[in-house]
Chains A and B, each alone.
Chain A
């Protein structure tokens, strides 16, 4: 009896999947990212910011009207592909995702097969844009961050002996480190043996800091996210080790770590494309709206990237004359042509005059920031 019932139920389940997509007058943008789970903060930030941007675009009452459909992928490749397929069934024409790198690699392969334009806010691995010519990034590619960091440290003469602490289990961290080491050799920086940790042993990083101290490093490069970075700052303080720290965009957020004495972050330098406290008109307006929407949260860099994704798509759709009735593949071809045309540029929250080349990597100038009195200040 139960067997029969099970079969009927399973059939019903399957049937509910069989639906047809409806036509619409708006261009449907899909977004995918972790809005739940340990990486939930990244996806939620992007989702909130994309919603704000879509509202702004629609309020212009122009020819281009967007509809945002955002799906959760819990930072898992399998779920992410499911989310992508769900969005496709809902009639997605452009993908503004995915937020994290590993899911983006799985979804990107699907998007390449479908020739769906994919502009990711924050999946920063080089592998993402290597997948195909429909893949574009708003964030810096990891290797570019390593390159820019080494150049910046060398040009500004920030350190002579450079220690490195990195997360060997994180593609973001190793990606940056790879090119940092290569570029350091080119510009003649003295880099000490890199010290590694993994997510599983990131609660106590004293050993790594001690190793840098023993080797006599006067600047420590941290191509990692802010949570382990806060551990490192604390460990250095505990052992009275007076050293300068240099971080990348993952360091953004260090001032909001719970239970962390932010005075330890004084003097920390970081390369980041977005600063929530900056005073230009666009940033101020965005931070205001974001706070209003989320009940007082300060947008992080992921949010700014998400906002720029929608604004870039808006500008590109306008120039390419994309309409709501176009098939995803046609939209992709039109947008690809515009994005890589050479004279297309966007002034976004994460950089002025952002341009793209055929590789899909963005080109924009990184901004050096230093933390003073609990706030970011431009370094130069």
Chain B
């Protein structure tokens, strides 16, 4: 503990994050090697990894850039469809490892491209307007993918946005993407270690970006857009950087997710999923990557844990969500928790300061939480 205190704050919290992921991986390995792994837990591992990557990447937009995006699932979808389309067609002829690596890269690239496409016109907006436009672009992509038919026969590849008949496939033809039915018959690949490696790559990228010059520019835009512009920052450039980076990782998460199931449909990636990921980020604390990861794990596992309640499952889930959100973010409860923590530590004098901080307005609280550079940082770190 004493050693830790001497370390730079950022280094300490980064080490904790990476350490947590590795411990998480190790625990699962032990459970699985000792034969205690249940099918249920095993089946949840890959979705958990995918949602962790989603939460980390959305944090870049919501937590660090400070823009509300309600279309994050669309990037996941773009990545999933691009990656899986390659994986089931060309990828089937390649060695498995190569096919996988290319699928992940393609998925990320496709999502990044879609991110640029959406981001360039959309990032001129901010706040509620941006939220609505991202929501709409997500729905557009979902509907286009739901209407997309691609088939292949001896005469080549056919493509239609209308229906399966208009492809005019020969009898030897094979449907590759079947509209609302999406891509069926995916050769499943679910490997937890690969999932964890992807989480670590995402973490490494986002953490480095955050602590770089660009990252400081991004947080500066969040804190005061006018001041940031006045210092000569190229706002569009940095906004786009954050937005597109987030999209790329969402795309990779999409490929990871889709590989875990034998069928991929566009309907899965609707605004509900976007909002679910947003809830993970908000619950974990905007700008708090570690919190977002924990929230992603909790929110993926919780509905499955509550199966015992049968049809009241989602009802109880919502109540738990409200309670957790209040416990984590309500100013009065934050103050109470901080008092409790300092009492345990016997630092009464310091606690008074913290209480003052916590009583400040809710938004100030949120801001200070995610901002490494403010004076309140220590108190915030402590309560995590």
The one of B146, B165, B262 that contacts A181, using a Cβ cutoff of 8 Å: B165
A interface, size bucket: 35 or more
Closest partner residue, chain A, to B307 (CB atom): A86
The one of A82, A88, A110, A169 that contacts B304, using a Cβ cutoff of 8 Å: A82
A contacts with B: majority SS: helix
Q: Which of B78-86, B238-246, B290-298 forms contacts with chain A?
A: B290-298
Q: Which of B69-77, B192-200, B310-318, B355-363 forms contacts with chain A?
A: B310-318
**Is the CB–CB distance between A13 and B301 below 8 Å?**
yes
Interface size on B, residues (CB 8 A): 56
**B151, chain A: closest CB distance, angstroms:** 13
The one of B31, B43, B303, B341 that contacts A1, using a Cβ cutoff of 8 Å: B341
| A194 CA / B163 CA spacing, docked (Å) | 10
Closest partner residue, chain A, to B36 (CB atom): A18
Closest partner residue, chain B, to A101 (CB atom): B181
Residues of B within 8 A of A171 (CB): 178-181
The one of A1, A17, A106 that contacts B38, using a Cβ cutoff of 8 Å: A17
**B188, chain A: closest CB distance, angstroms:** 7
| A197 CA / B335 CA spacing, docked (Å) | 55
**Is the CB–CB distance between A102 and B181 below 8 Å?**
yes
Given contacts A14-B41, A78-B268, A168-B147, contact A127 B307 (CB under 8 A): no
| A1 CA / B24 CA spacing, docked (Å) | 18
**Is the CB–CB distance between A2 and B383 below 8 Å?**
yes
| A79 CA / B304 CA spacing, docked (Å) | 8
**Is the CB–CB distance between B180 and A169 below 8 Å?**
yes
Q: Which of A48-56, A69-77, A147-155, A280-288 forms contacts with chain B?
A: A69-77
The one of A36, A89, A125, A194 that contacts B311, using a Cβ cutoff of 8 Å: A36
**B152, chain A: closest CB distance, angstroms:** 17
**Is the CB–CB distance between B265 and A102 below 8 Å?**
yes
Nearest 10 pairs of A and B residues by beta carbon:
A109-B262, A85-B39, A85-B43, A17-B41, A105-B263, A88-B39, A85-B40, A18-B36, A169-B180, A171-B181
**Is the CB–CB distance between B297 and A10 below 8 Å?**
yes
Known: A36-B313, A113-B188, A200-B143; 6 extra A-B contacts, CB below 8 A, are A76-B268, A82-B40, A86-B304, A110-B262, A178-B164, A196-B163
**Is the CB–CB distance between A82 and B261 below 8 Å?**
no
**B280, chain A: closest CB distance, angstroms:** 13
Residues of A within 8 A of B165 (CB): 178, 181, 194
Q: Which B residues from 154 to 199 make CB contacts under 8 A with A?
A: 162-165, 178-181, 184-185, 188
A212-246 vs B, Cβ < 8 Å mask (1 yes, 0 no): 00000000000000000000000000000000000
